[in-house]
Amino acid sequence: MAHSFPSEPWTAAFAEAVNANEVYRKHGAPWTYGAVAMVCSADPSMGLDEDVGMILDVEKGECRGAKLVKGMDAVMDTPFVIVAPYARWKQVIRGEIDPIKAMMEGKLKMTKGHLPTMLRFVESSRALVTSATAVPTTFLDE
Amino acid sequence: MEPSIHLAPRAEDNGYAVMVAQLLRQGLDERPEKKATVAKMHGRVTLVVTDLGLTVSLVFDGGRVTVHDGFAGIPDVTVRAPAEWHTKMSLVELEPRFGLPDPRGPVAKEVFEASKRGEIQMHGMWASLPLVFRMTKVLSVA
C-alpha cells in the first residue's frame, strides 16, 4: 500500500524499510552518534505550511523508532539534520539522485551535524537515506 | 596563530565548497594537532568533481584557508576525480607517527589503484608533495 509523503504512515514505513535494508544494517552497525532528521522545507504551494521532519532514532544499524514532526524547533535536539525542498526529497525517494552527491551539489543540506562523522559512515548514510526508495509512495503534486 | 577557514564570496552557492569548509572546521576542532599542519600550508589546491561539474579551490596561506567556488588563480595541485573518489579520499588512512597517508591502508590502496587507472588524476603532485600530504592529513576523517 502506498503512503503519502510526508505523513505518519510514510514515516513508519520508512523506519521499516531502514530495518529491512541489509546494507544499512551492516554499515550502520558501529553508529552510536544519535538520531538523524530529514526535513522537508515548507512549501505552501504543496500544502506544506511549515517544515516537516522525520526523526529517525538510529543506533547500531537499527532504526529504533521514527516520528513525524513539524517545524525546525522540533528537530533542534537531533544531532544530524538534513534539509531539502519537497522536489529534492521526491527525487531521493524515486532513486533519481544519490544523497551524497546531492549534498555535494547543495541539493540536500546538512544544517546540523558533524560532517567528519557522516563521512566516516558514508555508506551507511547513503543506505539510510536510500531506504526511502523501498517505500511505496504517493506524492502531493501527483 | 589559530587557523581560520573562510568561504570566498559566492562559494556558499557551491555545495561542495560549503562541505569542504565545514569538513576543515570540524576536523580541526576534533583533532587540534592538525592546526599546526594547516599553519605550515601555503599554496593553491583545486578539486574538480568531474561527474558533477563542480570545482572548488582552497587557498592556504599560513593558517588562513579560503575556499572558493571554481578556480582561484593557478593551482599548485589539481585533483580531478568523480564524486565517489573525492569522498573516498577523505577516508584515506594516516600512519600515526607523522600523519602521512598509510600505503598499507585498504582505502589508501584503493585510491592508489584508482590513480593508476586514471580515475583520479593529480596534476602538480610531485612538485608539491608536502602540500599534497598535508592536504590529505587535514581533510582525512579516517
Q: Where are the domains of chain B?
A: 4-80+122-137
Tell me what percent of the residues of chain B surpass a pLDDT of 70: 100
pLDDT number for residue B2: 87
pLDDT number for residue A5: 97
Whether chain A has a CB inside 8 Å of the CB on B107: the answer is no
- Taking 80 as the threshold, does the pLDDT of residue B103 lie above it? yes
pLDDT number for residue B1: 74
Rounded mean pLDDT, A89-101: 96
Say what the ipTM of the complex is: 0.91
Return the closest-CA partner of residue B112 out of B137, B128, B92.
B92
Structure confidence by residue, pLDDT tens digits, B36-64: 999 999 999 999 999 999 999 999 999 99
- Taking 90 as the threshold, does the pLDDT of residue B15 lie above it? yes
B19 vs A104: CB contact, 8 Å cut-off?
A: yes
pLDDT number for residue A123: 94
pLDDT, chain A, mean: 96
Q: What is the pTM of this model?
A: 0.93
A115 vs B30: CB contact, 8 Å cut-off?
A: no
Rounded mean pLDDT, A60-85: 97
The band of B142, judged by pLDDT with boundaries at 50, 70 and 90, is: confident
The band of B98, judged by pLDDT with boundaries at 50, 70 and 90, is: confident
CATH topology assigned to domain B4-80+122-137: Nonspecific Lipid-transfer Protein; Chain A (3.30.1050)
pLDDT number for residue A102: 96
Separation CA B55–CA B113 (nearest Å): 23
| Residue in chain B nearest A117 by alpha carbon | B141
B27 vs A116: CB contact, 8 Å cut-off?
A: yes
A49 exposure class (CB count in 10 Å sphere: 0-12, 13-18, 19+): exposed
B141 vs A114: CB contact, 8 Å cut-off?
A: no
A115: chain B residues, CB-CB within 8 Å: 19, 22-23, 26
Cell numbers at B136, concatenated: 590529505
B138: chain A residues, CB-CB within 8 Å: none
CATH of domain A3-129: 3.30.1050.10
A105 vs B16: CB contact, 8 Å cut-off?
A: yes
3-state secondary structure of B110: helix
Per CB distance under 8 Å, which residues of A are interface residues toward B? 98, 100-101, 103-107, 109-110, 114-117, 119-120, 122
- Taking 80 as the threshold, does the pLDDT of residue A8 lie above it? yes
Q: Where are the domains of chain A?
A: 3-129
- Taking 90 as the threshold, does the pLDDT of residue B88 lie above it? yes
Cell numbers at A53, concatenated: 521532519
Terminal alpha carbon distance of chain B: 25
3-state secondary structure of B61: strand
Rounded mean pLDDT, A97-118: 96
pLDDT, chain B, mean: 95
Rounded mean pLDDT, B98-115: 92
Phi and psi angles of residue A127, each rounded to the nearest 5 degrees, phi first:
-65, -35
Maximum Cα interatomic distance, chain B, rounded to a whole number of Å: 40
Separation CA B16–CA B50 (nearest Å): 12
A106: chain B residues, CB-CB within 8 Å: 13-16, 18
Closest Cα in chain A, distance from residue B138 (Å) = 11
